[in-house]
Amino acid sequence: MDTVAFEMPLAMCRVVGPWARHAFFCIPATPVADIMQENAKALSRAGSAMDSRPFAREEKIQLPGEMAGGTGILVLSDELNHRSIVEGVRLSGCTVRAFQHNNMTALETELNRAIEQGQASGKPWRKIFVVVEGIYSMEGDFCRLREIVSLKNKYGAYLYLDEAHSIGAVGRTGRGVTELLGVPTREVDVMMGTFTKSFGSAGGYVAASKEVIAQLRRVAPGSVFAGAMAPPCAAQALQALRVISGEEGGDTGAKKLAAIRENANYFREELSRQGFKADVPNGLMLAP
């Protein structure tokens, strides 16, 4: 472990203590709020706000229904999305349709059908969300972000991207699949990630427009009924981000990013050499 990654959480413990305060009432007044602002800037979500949660899973419970009010909302969800997404959209009150994993023809067919047929009542859908992951946790492949963005723009849908496995792991400075694939973050309506993986902390974040974040803070149960993220965890996440992006710690972050790539390639090549099927069609990062 790098000592640089510990200094800030320890300092945070000394300044505000290790306890969490209630998210709804206290977060705006605590240093966690400043840290989340910095995190939002660091993740280059222009014009966005960010909220923190004690558990990343909570971001998805009732999302995107929370943001848009559930009924009349259609969610097109990749069939291999993580369980937390599956449960989150189920709870949201939205209508959910799964599309074949990373298959752009299947996604376009569903978008077309949604626009042409609308709801069972004949009314058009109030909103259509496409929900995908940056890197799929079990398969190890990247979502086809560029194609997904052009489809969501073509059909006027919204995009929700879960970066649990890609944030802090890919992209020149660890900013995830948007950086890796050269997609401007403004093209993604909601970006969500966890601090439990690359950041070695706890909790998670959601980054979106200021209006969406304000609405989440007002109505999402994770904001209203749960304690906030502990300040040292927020500090740890920010410090890890600074190290990964090269802002601090010299070339430690760059070396870690390179090591992830090399280890993943080595693992995949060795699996292939030993006769296992380890090829994934689009720019494999991990191994299935």
Ligand X SMILES: Cc1ncc(COP(=O)(O)O)c(C=O)c1O
Footprint of ligand X (CB under 6 A): 55-57, 82, 84, 133, 137, 162, 164, 194, 196, 204
Which of residues 9 and 200 has its CB atom nearest to ligand X in the complex?
200
Q: What are the residues whose beta carbons fall under 8 Å from the beta carbon of 126, sequence distance 6 or more?
A: 68, 69, 72, 73
Tokens 């090829």 sit on residue: 279
Distance CA 143, CA 80 (A): 11
- Helix (H) or strand (E) run with residue 177 in it: helix 177-181
Nearer to ligand X, 87 or 108 (CB): 87
Q: Which is nearer to ligand X, 163 or 248 (CB)?
A: 163
Closest distance of CB 138 from ligand X, Å: 9
In angstroms, what CA-CA distances link 145 with 7, 104, 165, 284? Answer: 36, 10, 15, 14
Amino acid at site 4: V
Whose Cβ is closer to ligand X: residue 27's or residue 131's? 131
Distances (CA, A) of 52 to 81, 232, 233, 279, 280: 22, 13, 10, 36, 33
CB of 162 to ligand X, least distance (A): 5
Tell me the closest approach of the beta carbon of residue 256 to ligand X, in angstroms.
19
**Tokens matching residue 152:** 């969501």
Q: In terms of CB distance, is 185 or 201 closer to ligand X?
A: 201
Least Å distance between CB 261 and ligand X? 20
Contacting residues for 236 by C-beta, under 8 A, at least 6 apart: 5, 6, 8, 9, 195, 199, 200, 201
46: CB partners within 8 A, 6+ apart: 185, 186
In angstroms, give the least distance from the CB of 59 to ligand X: 8
Least Å from the CB of residue 168 to ligand X = 12
Please classify residue 105 by burial: count the beta carbons closer than 10 Å to its beta carbon, then call 0-12 exposed, 13-18 middle and 19+ buried.
Answer: exposed
At its nearest, how many Å lie between ligand X and the CB of residue 137? Answer: 4
Query: How many CB atoms are located within 10 Å of the residue 186 CB?
Result: 13
Q: Which is nearer to ligand X, 56 or 74 (CB)?
A: 56
Strand blocks (E) in 168-248: 190-194, 204-209
* Least distance between ligand X and beta carbon 246 (Å): 24
